[in-house]
């Protein structure tokens, strides 16, 4: 009769915890950097829906609507503290928007109407 316990089942859980912690830390760093540094003029605003995101942008102050991507609203604020104002008005998440999205490449312009 063996009195040792099988520790082999606990090993895969640790890498998942580390990965989840790293993902949470990355989101917190992006959030803090966006609020404090405002690294870009264009931001993606996420809220409970597109209408809510547009209402948040309108309440946060003057801004120019740049794009309506599939998720959120892409806007360009014209004053310092615009990101903080978006959060005060109820934005769930505000992320810096790169020129070409995640890839950095501009999207092809569709000529079809």
The beta-carbon contacts of 85-88 under 8 Å, at least 24 apart in sequence, are: 85/60, 85/61, 86/43, 86/45, 86/56, 86/57, 86/60, 87/35, 88/60
Residues in the chain: 113
Nearest to 77, CA basis, from 107, 56, 49, 92:
56
CATH domain 13-96 topology? Alpha-Beta Plaits (3.30.70)
* pLDDT, position 101: 53
Domain residue spans of the chain: 13-96
pLDDT tens across the length of the chain (113 residues): 556 665 555 556 788 999 999 999 998 888 888 888 876 778 899 998 889 999 999 999 888 888 888 788 999 988 888 889 999 999 998 888 876 555 555 555 444 54
- Backbone phi, psi, residue 57, to 5°: -65, -45
pLDDT of residue 3: 62
């Amino acid at each position: 009769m063996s009195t040792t316990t099988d520790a082999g089942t606990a090993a895969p859980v640790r890498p998942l915890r580390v990965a989840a912690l790293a993902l949470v830390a990355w989101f917190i760093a992006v959030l803090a950097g966006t609020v404090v540094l405002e690294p870009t003029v264009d931001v993606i605003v996420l809220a409970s829906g597109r209408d809510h995101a547009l209402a948040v942008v309108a309440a946060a102050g003057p801004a120019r609507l740049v794009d309506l991507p599939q998720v959120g609203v892409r806007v360009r604020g014209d004053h310092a503290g615009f990101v903080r104002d978006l959060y005060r008005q109820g934005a769930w998440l505000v992320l810096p928007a790169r020129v070409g999205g995640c890839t950095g490449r501009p999207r092809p312009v569709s000529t079809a109407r």
